[in-house]
Amino acid sequence: MSEAARRAEIWRVAGAVCDPEIPVLTIADMGVLRAVRLNGDAVEIDITPTYSGCPAMNMIALEIETALEGAGFGRPKVNLVLAPAWTTDFLTAEGREKLRAYGIAPPRKAAGRRGLFGQEQVPCPRCGSVLTEEIAPFGSTSCKALWRCQSCREPFDYFKCH
Ligand SMILES: [Zn+2]
């Protein structure tokens, strides 16, 4: 296997690890997987945490190690890269679509900190109505808020961390 092909395969295997908080999204969808480097047989992976202190990162690093060892690439070195900081703009278009299909309103691009204070319009992921209201700032996990649609009356999670 050429070095480019190995690198692409490592990217594919590592990138297929799912986010433990949002199992429909892979870390490639999330933009958490930042880089794959090869140095001979040694593999280095850079990941950027979605927000500081997210305990999910340890689990993600462990799953990357397990996945790559299982695929015969040996044990990678997984680096946490904190700069540039992850924002929801790192989400891929495919990741946003998966979130919507899962019933979670994807984050608005460049929502900035206003998203934390409920001052933005969040369209309902089911019917698209913008007549929505925040019920609770924290939903099933700390990076999701619980919202409700006034049109279809369904509650939904809004992915708010950035
Ligand atoms: Zn709705």
Same domain, 69 and 101: no
Same domain, 131 and 70: no
Same domain, 19 and 39: yes
CA of residue 9 to ligand 1 center, whole Å: 40
Among 51, 86, 121, the domain-final residue is 86
Count structural domains, the chain: 2
Query: Please, what's the b/e burial string for 91-102 (b: 16 or more CB within 10 A of its CB; e: otherwise)?
Result: beeebbebbeeb
Rounded CA-CA distance 29/15 in Å is 8
Same domain, 82 and 155: no
Domain that holds residue 39: 3-86
Same domain, 70 and 107: no
Same domain, 110 and 133: yes
Same domain, 15 and 80: yes
Q: Which of 136, 137, 117, 129 is nearest to 154 (CA)?
A: 129
Rounded CA-CA distance 157/140 in Å is 8
Same domain, 115 and 151: yes
Same domain, 78 and 142: no
CA of residue 47 to ligand 1 center, whole Å: 35
Same domain, 82 and 107: no
CA of residue 139 to ligand 1 center, whole Å: 17
Among 64, 86, 108, the domain-final residue is 86
Among 25, 59, 86, the domain-final residue is 86
In a 13 Å sphere around the CA of 143, the CA atoms on its Cβ side amount to 20
Same domain, 12 and 78: yes
CA of residue 126 to ligand 1 center, whole Å: 5
pLDDT in tens, the chain (162 residues): 889 999 999 999 999 998 877 778 899 999 999 999 999 889 999 999 886 456 678 889 999 999 999 999 999 999 999 888 888 889 899 999 998 898 888 887 654 444 444 456 788 998 988 899 888 887 667 678 889 999 999 999 888 754
Rounded CA-CA distance 43/145 in Å is 37
Same domain, 64 and 9: yes
CA of residue 28 to ligand 1 center, whole Å: 29
Q: What pTM was computed for the model?
A: 0.71
On whether the CB atoms of residues 61 and 55 are closer than 8 A, the answer is: no
CATH number, residue 36 = 3.30.300.130
CA of residue 88 to ligand 1 center, whole Å: 23
CA of residue 130 to ligand 1 center, whole Å: 8
